[in-house]
Structure 1
């Protein structure tokens, strides 16, 4: 049976201050919960219908499993069509080594404020084998419900770290380690030599990359438009742009 205290905690996880307070985030739906169960994240609680639990008898590594009914699920779910299962997991705190960053390609996100966009970027990063995504404090929360859903499970695998980006870029600045940024007036990405190692900075949905980070960039890139009309789309969604850019980097390396 679901207690009022636990119900209140789950409902509060919609807000960042309570996710920080309890160090927990919520995952809804069988597909995402199954991916969560396969990840390395620590799962605090699983809340599910009896039939779901009966069809998953070998669940391991969960601190507490609670059987709930439809009325109880309605009080803790955000879905219009109620899920069969919800999981609460601990928000991970990731570490990295300087060597693994210097030997790979990582994303750096400056002010990505829409959690749906952030989730899409994490999903794209996961597809192209990007293991680290560095965010500033102006970015949406990676473990907000909307971002978790949009990432389709990628947030369980891609290591998202919130940090001072200027300090990060200066720390890794060297002739051998490139820092790329995306701009409307940058060099054509299809005609630019791209490295297999470095940072790729994606900027805010409206303002782009801030001046402080722009000064740290070695190479400015753009995705050219191939539209015939003068009145074509002004710019690409940041999630779409990230997918195109990572595809080109991986194709060239």
Structure 2
């Protein structure tokens, strides 16, 4: 095994992605922090990692564009020598009743969540080294079926299906492929468009009676990316505090 393993994390500048990037760095990974627009936030993540004696660089990427994704993997190769773990955390969420959804919004959501995950998974399948791991981010709402989440759930259902297929396609490569499906998690994306009553109602639904934190999700991802998670493959882990 390589002296230092290398992780590529998309959506790494904020929320769950940021927590994943810093947690993997704390576990000894060199990290490529993928971001779309907020270069300052991505640089802050790298600064936090480097200040803790870790190794990290930023990479601007539109995950739906093959050339941009290839360039990001090239940055990992040129800077750190290869890729061992890929975490597809970049995502978009649009909430609306199905009957009222603007189809342009649907197209934008699916471009990031479905096409973006597919492009990332394709490049990961070509590049990840033996002993590596691919982790996609889904949502527990796939199983919960909350109103207004129809378009988002449709995109994440596709992510879960891709995860199962890719795990089987990589037979013999010693690469695991799993998805983590958070429940309600305290991120900017979660709070956007929700009033306090809605937030409190969702926080009370799990038996643990709280929202998840980005760190809760990052710890699950780190387990799947690390040596103790090697026997978990082709699974969707619903990290949601027992919400039903």
- TM (normalized to structure 1)? 0.35
Looking at secondary structure, tell me which structure has more strand per residue.
Answer: 1
Looking at secondary structure, tell me which structure has more helix per residue.
Answer: 2
- TM (normalized to structure 2)? 0.36
CA radius of gyration, larger in: 1
